[in-house]
Amino acid sequence: MNGIPIKAEDKVFTIAQYIDLLNVFFKSQSARIIGEISELKRAASGHVYFSIKDKENPGSLDAIMWARNYQLCGIALEVGMEVILNGHPNVYPNNGRLSFVADTVELVGEGALKKAYDDLRKKLEAEGVFAAARKRPLPDYVCRIGVITSMKGAVIHDFENNLGKFGFKVNVIDSRVEGAQAAAPLLEAIRAMREMVDDDGSRGMGIEALVIIRGGGSLESLQAFNNEALVREVINFPVPVIAGIGHDQDVPLMALAADYMTSTPTAAAHLLSRSWEEAYAKVREFAGLLNRFPLELQRVENALTNTWNGLLNIFERSLETAKATVALGAQAVKHNDPARQLALGYSIARRNGKVIRSTAGLAAGDEMSLAVSDGEIGSVIKTINHGNTHHGKNNESKAGGRSGEEPAPRSKKVSGGHQADLGLV
């Protein structure tokens, strides 16, 4: 303040100097005050001028909320609202008027908070802010993480302790997370995190996911997370956002807008570790298979050996059976070979190339041939004896030769006085 000491009892101040002195002092006198809005004016600049009064006492105080803070508060102020203002007093130099400069404003009463929550939720739902189609998938194997939370509580320790040991690189920004006053620092932290994302959105050195976490709380304590400006900052963040905010019945709007919503910081940590855990499980499974490979190989080798030996035994038995069958067949063929019969002294009688099996159809004088072991004998039938009794002379061929060494059966006379012996058939 231009080198003016705060305590200068012997100095004479100008009005401007004294107002500056007061404002330096007032700026250190931040306070939270509660009251009911009685007058309200919105300037073209966006600044809001209003009065706040006690509900039961006659006290009244002028208040100002600058445009940036009013937009950030996310509450449309109206006459009759009961609010809590957080700020400090200030004297306006032009007229010496004292006003309370409000940095943040909070609605008083759960009913008012619930109504504001429901109204904003309907508005954002109509815009598709919470639609599943808008949500972005979390990349597999995320490594670089940005975290916004209060470093004073146990939340950050719970998060880090449940984050798998996969070499994560975590950038943490400490921020207030309690009450309506947390909206501004949270917004500032998100914008700072934006600077840690690669400009082209590639997975280079920048963060790959943003995590905003805090413990549970009442609707009043979570007011900052129902702030419209904060919700819009989250949906426009360049990488997926995970909200790990404890809640009861009314889910914070920022959590609904985030790409992933978890109920606790611990759950957020598990979500980030999930793809790594799955990959690690596959590696362990593969390692187990490699360890079991020699045993499995030996098992397969034994099975193949047993199968081969079994097939070999079956083949050997089948071959022996086939040999025995062939031998029996050969013996049967040999036993039934006509040449064998001829060698034993039998002959085969044929007429016109056909074997004679009966005397039927034969007549004396018919030519016939007798097949013996070493050739054929041509003959002419002289006599035919029917039945099993044989009479007459031995058979003789037309050439005068005998049909064999054994005596011919006796012949029987036929009409005309001719006789013939029919040899073996």
Chain centroid to CA 192: how far?
Answer: 35
Q: What is the pLDDT of residue 247?
A: 61
Residues 104 and 181 grouped into a single domain:
no
Residues 181 and 250 grouped into a single domain:
yes
Element (H, E) at 362: none
Q: What is the pLDDT of residue 389?
A: 46
Pairing of strands 144-149, 169-174: parallel
pLDDT in tens for each of the 425 residues of the chain?
454 555 556 688 888 888 889 889 988 888 988 888 888 898 999 899 999 888 777 788 899 999 888 888 878 888 888 888 889 999 988 888 899 999 888 888 777 788 888 889 999 999 999 999 999 999 899 999 999 999 887 888 889 888 878 889 999 999 998 888 888 899 999 999 998 886 554 545 689 999 999 887 777 788 889 889 999 999 999 999 999 887 656 789 999 999 999 988 889 999 999 988 888 888 877 777 777 777 777 788 888 888 888 888 898 888 889 888 888 887 877 777 777 667 777 788 888 888 888 888 888 888 888 888 788 888 888 888 876 544 444 443 333 333 333 444 443 333 333 333 444 33
At 171, which amino acid appears? N
Instruction: Kindly state whether residue 321 falls inside one of the protein's structural domains.
Output: no
Residues 263 and 195 grouped into a single domain:
yes
In terms of Cα–Cα distance, which of 194, 247, 220, 23 is closest to 111?
Answer: 220
Q: List, in sequence order, the alpha helices (H) in 90-249.
A: 110-126, 155-162, 183-194, 228-235
Element (H, E) at 213: strand 209-214
- Sheet with 354-355, strands from edge to edge, namely 354-355, 348-351, 367-372, 375-380
Q: What is the pLDDT of residue 65?
A: 92
- CB under 8 Å to 153, separation ≥6 — which residues? 214, 215
For residue 146, give the CATH number of its domain.
Answer: 3.40.50.280
Tally of CA atoms within 13 A in the half-sphere of 26 that contains its CB:
17
Beta partners for residue 417, in sequence order: none
Please check whether residue 179 is in contact with residue 84, taking contact to mean a CB–CB distance below 8 angstroms: no
Q: What is the pLDDT of residue 132?
A: 92
Q: What is the pLDDT of residue 397?
A: 38
Q: What is the pLDDT of residue 390?
A: 45
83: phi then psi, degrees, rounded to nearest 5:
-135, 165
Domain termination residue (choose one: 108, 142, 169): 108
Which tokens in the block code for residue 361? 């159809």
Q: What is the pLDDT of residue 421?
A: 44
Q: Cα–Cα distances in Å, from 295 out to 230, 287, 292, 299, 380? A: 60, 14, 5, 6, 88
Q: What is the pLDDT of residue 10?
A: 66
Instruction: Kindly state whether residue 8 falls inside one of the protein's structural domains.
Output: no
**Three-point CA angle 329, 334, 338, nearest 5°:** 130
In terms of Cα–Cα distance, which of 394, 410, 395, 339 is closest to 371?
Answer: 339
Please check whether residue 393 is in contact with residue 419, taking contact to mean a CB–CB distance below 8 angstroms: yes
Residues 196 and 161 grouped into a single domain:
yes
Q: What is the pLDDT of residue 395?
A: 42
259: number of Cβ within 10 Å: 19
Residues 150 and 264 grouped into a single domain:
yes
Q: What is the pLDDT of residue 256?
A: 93
Q: Cα–Cα distances in Å, from 316 out to 6, 306, 309, 321, 353? A: 118, 15, 10, 9, 47
Domain that holds residue 420: 337-425
> Would you state the torsion angle of the CA atoms of residues 336, 339, 345, 350, taken in this order, to the nearest 10 degrees?
100
Instruction: Kindly state whether residue 172 falls inside one of the protein's structural domains.
Output: yes
Instruction: Kindly state whether residue 198 falls inside one of the protein's structural domains.
Output: yes
Instruction: Kindly state whether residue 28 falls inside one of the protein's structural domains.
Output: yes
> 95 in helix, strand or coil?
coil
The number of distinct structural domains making up the chain is 3
Task: Tell me 151's DSSP state.
Answer: T
For residue 26, give the CATH number of its domain.
Answer: 2.40.50.140
Which tokens in the block code for residue 416? 């005309």
Give dist(CA 419, CA 359) in Å, integer.
14
Instruction: Kindly state whether residue 27 falls inside one of the protein's structural domains.
Output: yes
Which tokens in the block code for residue 245? 């905010």
Instruction: Kindly state whether residue 114 falls inside one of the protein's structural domains.
Output: no
In terms of Cα–Cα distance, which of 143, 209, 213, 205 is closest to 174?
Answer: 213
Give dist(CA 182, CA 164) in Å, integer.
29
40: number of Cβ within 10 Å: 15
In terms of Cα–Cα distance, which of 68, 77, 91 is closest to 40?
Answer: 77
Instruction: Kindly state whether residue 166 falls inside one of the protein's structural domains.
Output: yes
Please check whether residue 142 is in contact with residue 272, taking contact to mean a CB–CB distance below 8 angstroms: yes
